[in-house]
Amino acid sequence: MSMPVVVRELGSVEYSPTLQRMLDFTLQRDGDTADEIWLLQHPPVFTLGTNADPAHVINPGDIPVVQVDRGGQVTYHGPGQLVAYVLLDLKRLRLGIRDLVCHLENSVINTLAGYDILATGRDGAPGVYVDDHKIASIGLRIRKNCSYHGIAVNVHPDLEPFGRINPCGYEGLPVTSIAALTSAQAGQTPTLNEVGTALLNSLSAQLDLGLSKA
C-alpha cells in the first residue's frame, strides 16, 4: 500500500473552477505529492469530452455546456449526482489506464451491490449499467502519468436533463439512478454521503489505498 490518499469532501461546487483546480493540482504535483480523491456534486452542467460531437447536445435549454479535456462524449452533472474525482499517480500505483477504468467500474458495481442493485460494465462503453440503463459514467484525463476527472454516480438526481442529450454519445440511451431503483423500498434510498462513504470503501479495496480525510 502506498502513502495515504487525501479525501476531500467539497459539497456543491461550480464545475469550471473545480476543473481548473484539478488541472492546477495535476500540473504542480511531483513524485512526493499525495494522491487525492474529491467527493462533490455540481450545479446543472453538460460537459463535452475532447472528441465529443456537439450534435449530441440536443436541447440544452438553460443548462450551460462546457468543453472539457477528459475523454468521452457528452454527459450531465447536477444535484443529487455523486462525483468522485480521482487524482492518482498511476506510475506510483503501477496502473495502466485500462486497469484504472476497470477498478473504477468495479468500485461502483460493488457499491451498488450494497443496495441490492445488480450492475455491470460494458465492453467498449466505459461506465456502469443496470440492464440497459446507465447509472454511472466514467471519464478520465492523464497528464504526467497522473489521472484526473473520474466517476459520476446517479444517486437521486433529476433525470430529465439526460433526455436533452445523447448520453455518452448513444442516442436514446436510458439513464437511471439509485433512487429510481430503490423507490419501491420506502425509506431505502441512500443519501449522497452514505453512497460516498460506500464508494470510498470500494475504491480503497479495489486500488489497495489507504485513505485520510482532509
Q: What is the CATH number of the domain that holds 59?
A: 3.30.930.10
**At which residue does the C-alpha cell 485513505 appear?**
211
Model confidence band, residue 124 (pLDDT cutoffs 50, 70, 90): confident
Q: Give the span between the Cα atoms of 176 and 156, in whole angstroms.
A: 9
- Split into its structural domains, the chain has a count of 1
pLDDT, tens only, 51-79: 889 999 999 999 999 999 998 889 999 99
Q: Which residue has the higher pLDDT, 171 or 196?
A: 196
| 146: annotated active-site residue | no
What pLDDT was estimated at residue 192?
95
CB 13 within 8 A of CB 37: no
Q: Average pLDDT over the chain, rounded to whole? A: 94
CB 49 within 8 A of CB 71: yes
Give me the amino acid identity at 95: L
Domain that holds residue 18: 5-213
pLDDT, tens only, 149-188: 999 999 999 999 999 999 988 888 999 999 999 875 556 7
What pLDDT was estimated at residue 154?
98
Catalytic residue among 74, 168, 175, 181: 168
